[in-house]
Structure 1
C-alpha cells in the first residue's frame, strides 16, 4: 500500500489533515471508502488509548485493493474554537467533513466514483445514513457498532450500566446523578432551539441543542427509505452499544429489506478487537491494551464491497 498526506476542506475555515491509503498495485480504477469517527474528538486513526481502529481499517482494506480516506475530526483540531459554539451540531462536527471527503475521492482520477462507500463507526455509524442523504451519495453504507436509537438513550444505558457495577455507597450517590441527567435529557425536545443552545446537559460544553438537533433527524427516518446496499456489523461483547437493543434493533427495523447484510462477531468489543474486561466502567483499561482489529472483520468488509 501507499500512504498520501492530504487535506480535507482546504478552502474552508476548518482544513483537516488526512491520509489517503491506496493499494500498492492498481490495475485500473479502485473502490474507496471514507471513514467517519465515533463520538468525541479523535484523530484520523480514531486512536483511543493504545488502539487505532481506523489505521487498522485503512491498512487492512488497502492491502485488499480498496482505497481508504481518513482525516482528523474537526473537534480534535479545532476543539477550543468550537466548544463555545452554542449552535454546534453533528452537522458541523461530522457531516460536513464526511461529505467533503466523499467529494475529494470523486475528484481523484484513480478512484472508481461508482464504487464509493462510507464506513461509520459508533456515532459515525448512526450518522452514516444521514451523511449519505445530505450529500455523500455513496454506493453503499457500512455501519460498525452503530444504533438505530437516539444518542441520549445510549448515554443513559451506559450510565445505568456503570451504576449497577458500583458499591452500595457510590451507587447511592450515582443514582442521584443519573436521575438528574435523565431529567435533563427527557426535557430537550420541549426546549426551543434558543433555549437548547443555552442549556448544558453533559459536562461543561455539550448543549441540549447538540442532542436535540441530532434527535430530530433520527437514523430510522433515513434507513426506512434506504434502498442501496447496507452492511451492519457489531461485536457480541460490545459494552457501549447493545446487541439486544441496537444490533437486533436494526434487524427488527430492516427485517423486510433485501439490501441489508448483518454480521455479529463473537468475543469482539466496540472497536472490533478481542474483549478484555467487557465492562463499560473499564473502557479506559480495555483500550489501553494494545490490539488490532480482527482480520475477519476487515476481510468481510472488503468482500462485501467487491460484491456490490
Structure 2
C-alpha cells in the first residue's frame, strides 16, 4: 500500500525518519508552513524558512525516495505580531508561485483575535489569486466555534468548500465540516488530539468520503509513522481496504492535486535516487557512502574518490 502524509513538518525531523517512512510505504509528504517553537523576529527569518521548504527539504526527501511538497502561509499564532505579519504577507506571493507548492497553509485561528482574522482573510484572497487549495488550522481552544467561524469566513470569500482542507478535526467538528462540503483531515498524535484508536471509530462511522489522516509530526511529541501505523490498525480492525486507501492516500492526492503540483506519476515513475547529488554543495550523508538506484530496482553503494 502506498501512503501519503499530507501534513508533516519534516524540517523538524531527521533523515532516519525519512528512511523509516519510506520503508513503511510513504511515497510523498506535504509540509505546511508552521512556527518554529519561538517567535520569529524579522521577515528575513520567514523568507529563509520558506526557502528551505521549497528547496533543501525537497532535495533531502528525494535522497530517500520520498517526494516532498509544501504549503506556504503565515500561521495563525504568529499573525498576532501585526507589524511583522504585514511584512510576511508581502513576501508570500513570491513563494506561492514556486514549484511543488500545493496549497496556502496552514492558516486559520489560534486565539481567534482580530489580527488572526485579518491574516486569514488576506491569505484566502492569495489562494484565490494563485488558484491554490487551502489548508486550515483549527484552534486548539474553543475548537468547535473556531471551526464554524472559519468556514463562515471562507464562504464570505467565495471559495468553494471542495478547495479547502479543514485539519485537526475531532468528534465535535467532523459532522459540520463534512455537511458543509469541506475536506476533513485528522491529525494523529500519540496521546493527544486524534489518536489511532479514535480514528478507527471515526472511519467505521463515517467511511472515507472527503476525509484523510496525517501525522502533523513536528518538533514536539509526535510520530512520523502515525499514518502507516493507523492504516495498519484500520485494516486489522476490519475497515475495508478501499476505505483505508482513500483515508491514507487517494483523498489527500485528490484534495491537493487541484494545485496541479502533485501527481501520482511523480512517485510511480520517479527519477532514480542518486545520493551523489548535492544541494548547493551539501550532502545529507555526513561522510557515509552514497547509494544510487540501478535498473531493475537494485541499488549499489558507491565510493567517492
Shorter-chain TM band = 0.3 to 0.5
Higher strand share: 1
TM-score by length of 1: 0.39
Instruction: With the length of structure 2 as denominator, give the TM-score of the two structures.
Output: 0.39
